Structure 1
Amino acid sequence: MSVGTAVSVNVGAAEPAMGKDVRSTGILKKPVSAPVQVRAPGPKRTGLHSGVVGDHIGDTKNHGGDDQAVYAYAVEDYAWWAAELGRELPPGLFGENLTTAGLDLLGGVIGEKWEFGSGLVLQVTFGRIPCITFQNRMGEPRWVKRFAAANRTGAYLRVLTPGSLVPGDRITVAERPAHGLTLTEAFRIYMFDQSRLARLLDAPELSPALLAEVRERLG
């Protein structure tokens, strides 16, 4: 299985909102040098919101909760975007808690399990759907549509075994479901290909809310 590295662990404090009708945002994440505790945060609206202790989430309707407990983005995808945008993109800029190296997030499978040297175990649930806060953070025109179209979404993860995110830690993809539904395939179907929605039902590791939405859309 694949082995990667946690090159940066990033935590966001509460800052004034950036374009949404909420009071605050935690998108302005900064790298930390010490280990950060991670645990399942509970329900999106009523739980602890972020799975990362000390990390703020302002829009609790659309972000956080057990199925979006941790957000990861790969340095390899940052490099692609840096070439596209013609500027440096430091870890944490996209609002991710975990910046990885050595893991192919484009080919990551829904439900695959990441085991960390610290004992933490996370499970891939879906890609990131961009929002206006992200667009305003980037200062790039049409960023929401551009990010979605590129389908380099990063990975949301749920917490299977609590532990610590440790900068420099080893990440092992220890288990990968046989259904083979990747982050890129799932995101493309959900966003752009209504005709293939039933394919998403092959992955029970998707969030219950998303699976319920797919069943409703299928009628």
Structure 2
Amino acid sequence: MTPSPSSAQVVAVARDDAHRFSKPTRDEITLIAGYGVEGDAHAGATVQHVSRVRRDPSSPNLRQVHLIHSELFDLMAERGHGVEPGALGENITTVGVDLLGLPRGARLEIGEGAVVEITGLRNPCSQINGLSNGLMKELVYLDDDGETVRLTGVMSVVVSGGVVRPGDGIRVILPSGAHEPLPVV
């Protein structure tokens, strides 16, 4: 899917310099190639997530920038869970992009030159229930075929840096070749 620039855009941006679950929204964030969001606790060339650092601190950081589609918040509101931008720890909240349907290696050109490459699906933790009791069951569940469905957004690495602000357009650039489903990262 390649939406028109007018339909796909940034709703909100967030960052936090500490390893807290939610991130405060900001007027803008700066993406740095190969590193992530300037001033964010999860930025770095190697893993920064606390539990992953314990396992192997030299692993490459495939989770530099976390993106969530705002349409998820509307769905959760219908199910009785109030979720706002930044509450699930994402750096960029989008609208008009089927993030979960993108293949591995898809790139998002955001604003005037920032580019992120999608590495996989976010695997959330039970801290999500701290936002709203039962929210985790809404966001991660087994479908009718017994497959795990994860709705908590996608992870990416920064290919080209730049400033990202709410209202910036997003252009999807699909990789050549066969569609490779997103792994959990």
TM-score, normalised with respect to structure 2: 0.77
Corresponding position of 1:38: 31
1:81 aligns to what? 76
Deviation at 1:41, TM superposition (A): 5.1
Shift of 1:77: 1.6
Deviation at 1:62, TM superposition (A): 2.8
The total of aligned residue pairs comes to 164
Letter in structure 1 aligned against 2:89: G
Structure 2 gap segments, 5+ residues each: 43-47, 54-58, 142-148
Query: Percentage identity across aligned positions?
Result: 27
The equivalent of 2:115 in structure 1 is 121
TM-align CA RMSD:
2.5
Structure 1's consecutive aligned runs of 4 or more residues displaced over 3 angstroms after TM superposition are 57-61, 63-66, 132-136
Report 1 or 2 for greater relative contact order, CA contacts < 8 Å, sequence distance ≥ 6.
2
Say if 1:12 and 1:27, in contact at 8 Å, map to a contact too: no
Question: Residue 171 of structure 2 aligns with which residue?
Answer: 172
Structure-2 separation of matches of 1:134 and 1:87: 11
AA partner of residue 68 (structure 1): R
**Structure 1 residues 37, 65: closer, same or farther in 2, change over 3 A?**
farther
Q: Which residue of 1 aligns with 2:45?
A: none
Matches within 5 A, 1:20-169: 25-33=19-27, 35-40=28-33, 51-57=36-42, 59-62=49-52, 66-84=61-79, 86-136=80-130, 138-141=131-134, 143=136, 146-149=138-141, 150-169=149-168
Mind listing any 5+ residue stretches in structure 1 that lack a counterpart? Answer: 15-24, 43-50, 188-209, 211-219
1:65 Cα deviation from its structure 2 partner = 5.5
Change (3 A) 1:156 1:134: same
* Structure number, greater radius of gyration: 1
Task: Say which structure is richer in strand.
Answer: 2
